[in-house]
Amino acid sequence: MDGNLKLGEHFICDLSDCDQALLLDSDRARDLFTQAVREAGLTIVSEGYYRFSPHGFTCFLLLAESHASLHAWPEFGYCAIDLFTCNLTMDIHPLVQKLQALFHSGSCAVRNVDREAALTPSVLESLRVKGILAPVEELT
C-alpha cells in the first residue's frame, strides 16, 4: 500500500509593517529571534548570520528539531521567517505570535506545509526489513 508519512511541519511566515528601526539594528533583532526560538523550547545546536550592505540581514538557527531562519528587509519593514520542526507534538503558533509581537508586525501571514515522505511498497518493505516499521500481519 502506498502512502505518505508526515515527518515535519514547515511554517512560512511573512511579517509586514514591522518596526524598521529594530530591523536596522540587526544584532538586536537577531538576538530577539534567537531568544524567542530558545524560549519556545527548541534546541539550538548551531547558528549563522550575515549582514548585508547597506542594510538587511539573514540569520539561521540549526535546531535539533530542524531549523529556523529570518531574512530581514528593513527598508520595507518586512521579515521572512521559516520555522521547520520535526517535533510533531509541538504547537508552533505561540512562537509565531511572539515573533509578530517582538517585531511589532502590523500584518502576519502564515502558511503551513506538511513535510511528507512518499512511502512506496519498496520503501515500506525496506523499513520493515530494517526493523523501523513492524511487519504487517497478513490475513489468512
The residues annotated with a catalytic role in the active site are: 66, 71, 86
Which residues are CB-contacts of 36 (< 8 A; sequence separation ≥ 6)? 95, 98, 99, 102
Residue pair 114/5 in contact by the 8 Å Cβ criterion: no
Residue pair 13/80 in contact by the 8 Å Cβ criterion: yes
Total H helices, total E strands in the chain: 4, 6
Residue pair 57/47 in contact by the 8 Å Cβ criterion: no
Enumerate the β-bridge partners of residue 13: 81, 110
